[in-house]
Amino acid sequence: MCGRYTITVDAEGIAWRFGAERPEFDFEPAYNAAPTQNLPVIIEANGQRRFLLMRWGLIPHWSKEMSIGNKLINARIETVDQKPAFKSSLLRRRCLIPADGYYEWLKIDERKQPVRIVSSQNDLFSFAGIWNEWIDSEGMTINSFSILTTTPVASITHIHHRMPLILSPDQEGDWLRGPRSVEPLVVKDFLDKLHPCPSLHFYPVSSLVNNPRVNSPSLIDPI
């Protein structure tokens, strides 16, 4: 799964990397991005990429309560086309989630050591995501997202049995544009062709990352 990640690049750097227009808002780097926070998302509309902030934890349009999103921070790639909470977003609202690392907890004896998993090039990448619009009882629109997960690549299989689907740069455009048909077999074939970027490594970090209220550059320092 993916329950915590990092995006240590500012708004200008994110927009440049993903070919989106520089947004009017600022974004402070997130060294401990956590569910319910508003975080950077890249979508494509009319052939143009847009940079938005969305709440992490997808809220289905039919939900009566925003809190359901707290349980929908991840969507399994194997079943995302079947789940009622995710299916319409998969077909119509795919997105890129900019990141430069994510946290996982490695079990060592009787304790869990937090580690940060990054690309071998230590560069900015993207998770495959889906998003949705939800309108609350007062008529306010809230955009929210979920991160797709998949089976881990060989270098991190011993850490956790799931990982976020990290797209290679040449997969990003295909993901945003999506399958050419909504026929189940076409969608399934589209999903089956997605494979996570294999060049990952990890290093141990401070247990301060366990607290989602802590957001400090020191969290990504190796220990």
Task: Classify residue 69 by burial, with Cβ atoms within 10 Å: 0-12, 13-18, 19+.
Answer: buried
Q: What is the pLDDT of residue 198?
A: 79
Hey, what domains does the chain have and what are their CATH numbers? 5-220 (3.90.1680.10)
Which residues are designated catalytic?
2, 104
Q: Write down the mean pLDDT value for the chain.
A: 94
How far, in whole angstroms, is CA 44 from its chain's centroid?
Answer: 16
pTM (two decimals): 0.96
Mean pLDDT in residue range 75-92: 95
Position with higher pLDDT, 83 vs 137: 83
Three-class DSSP category at 220: helix
Q: What is the pLDDT of residue 132?
A: 97
Q: What is the rounded CA–CA span in Å between residue 91 and residue 67?
A: 23
Q: What is the rounded CA–CA span in Å between residue 127 and residue 156?
A: 17
Q: Which runs of consecutive H residues, i.e. helices, occur in the chain? A: 11-18, 87-92, 169-177, 184-192
Q: Do 129 and 90 meet the contact criterion of CB atoms below 8 Å apart? A: no
Q: What is the pLDDT of residue 134?
A: 97
Mean pLDDT in residue range 163-189: 93
